[in-house]
Structures are given as C-alpha cells and as structure tokens.
Amino acid sequence: MRRTVFGPEHPDVLASLNNLGANLFAQGDVAGAEALAREVLAVRRRTLDENHPDLAMALNNLGAYLRVEGKLAEAEPLQREALAIWRKALGNEHPDVASAASNLAFVLHEKGDPAGAEVLQREALAIRVKVYGEGASRSPGPWAPSAPSSSTRASSRRPRRCSAGRSRSASRSSRPATSTRPSRRPTWPGR
C-alpha cells in the first residue's frame, strides 16, 4: 500500500521494507530478509549522500544478514563501509560506531582473524563505557552480532546488539544470551 501511495523510494516505504526484513529474520527467513535489505540498500545508494547515516544502516543490516548466512566475504566490505560512514557522520564516540565496530569484529572473528576482532571489540567496549557508563558496558561475544536496525533515524537509535535464544520485536536490542553455544540464527528482544 505505501509503495503505491508514496512510491518505491519514499523513506516510509524503505522503513517498512527494513522492518519487514527484520521481522522475517526474526522468524528465520534470512534469505527473505537479505532480499529486502538488498532492495533497501540499492535505493539508499541511489537517493542518499554517500556519507548518510541511513546508508550506513542499510549496509549494516545487509552485512548482518550475510554474516548469519555465512557469506563473510560479502559481509565484510559492507560492515567496513558502514563503520566508515558512521565514524564520519557521527564521530568516533557514538553508539552506532560501537555497534558497527562490533559487527565488523564478528565478521573478522568468523573469518579467522581474532586479533583484528579483538581490537574492534575493545573499541566498541570503550565507546559503550564512555556513553553508558561501566554498568552497561558488557560487550557481546562473537556469536551475537548487533541486530539489523529497524529505525530510520540514526541520531535517535541506541546500539543494536543481538542475543541468541530470545524473542524480539523488530526494533529492540539486548544483551547476549547466557548460552555459551554460538547461534547462527540470532533473535532479539523487544525494546
């Protein structure tokens, strides 16, 4: 309906596609989520400045889906680009930068680069400690990527962290699950 009324490139249409993708992902349809994320990213690349935070969000989301699917070679450059955009647009101490650094760390860890992953996770932890304080600084393990974002407002978003074995509404983040067993299909709790 929104596509018909507003057109395929309207921000509300993209937000709906993004939210639907997060919902599909939460239900285990990663391929469906990936297809929608690719569509959103294509429109974002055509319509936004190359350093817009919403472009970074679209890159991050697709990268997160690809990571879960094991498409690490494709996920890494997307996560790197998202991190670079968020650094430039939001500065080095923003929660979205922490999430992007953490997401890239998860990819590097799975690709067999634990040293590179550790550097990024330590950076993410330092940002979270600075922004939220010591009590809220627990960094997730390499099995818990930051959740694909469902918000279209980069400046108002909190960091997205993912946890295995919990239910999720499409826009909320959480601490990692207590399970020590890595999950290939994370889910996220509601805000």
Which residues have C-beta within 8 Å of that of residue 108, sequence separation ≥ 6?
76, 114, 116, 117, 120
Identify the band that residue 9 occupies on the pLDDT scale cut at 50, 70 and 90: confident
pLDDT digits (tens, 9 = 90+) for 68-79: 999 999 999 999
| pLDDT value at residue 97 | 96
Tell me what the mean pLDDT of segment 114-140 comes to.
86
C-alpha dist (Å) from residue 61 to 69, 100, 180: 13, 10, 24
Task: Answer whether 168's CB lies under 8 Å from 26's CB.
Answer: yes
**Structural domain contains residue 23:** yes
Tell me what the mean pLDDT of segment 163-191 comes to.
33
* Model confidence at 168: pLDDT above 70: no
| Percent of the chain scoring above 90 in pLDDT | 63
CATH number at residue 46: 1.25.40.10
Provide the domain limits for residue 15.
2-156
Identify residue 174 by its one-letter amino acid code.
S
What predicted TM-score, i.e. pTM, was given to this entire model?
Answer: 0.71
How many CB atoms sit inside 10 A of residue 171's CB?
Answer: 18
SS3 (DSSP) at 131: helix
Tell me what the mean pLDDT of segment 2-20 comes to.
83
**Structural domain contains residue 174:** no
| pLDDT value at residue 10 | 86
Tell me what the mean pLDDT of segment 41-55 comes to.
95
* Model confidence at 156: pLDDT above 60: no
**Structural domain contains residue 137:** yes
Identify the band that residue 84 occupies on the pLDDT scale cut at 50, 70 and 90: very high
Task: Answer whether 189's CB lies under 8 Å from 41's CB.
Answer: no
**Structural domain contains residue 164:** no
* Model confidence at 89: pLDDT above 90: yes
Cα 80 from Cα 101, distance rounded (Å): 8
**Structural domain contains residue 16:** yes
Identify the band that residue 121 occupies on the pLDDT scale cut at 50, 70 and 90: very high
Tell me what the mean pLDDT of segment 13-17 comes to.
93
**Structural domain contains residue 189:** no
**Structural domain contains residue 140:** yes
| pLDDT value at residue 147 | 52
SS3 (DSSP) at 27: coil
Task: Say how many domains are in the chain.
Answer: 1
Task: Tell me the average pLDDT of the chain.
Answer: 78
**Structural domain contains residue 171:** no
| pLDDT value at residue 134 | 84
| pLDDT value at residue 177 | 31
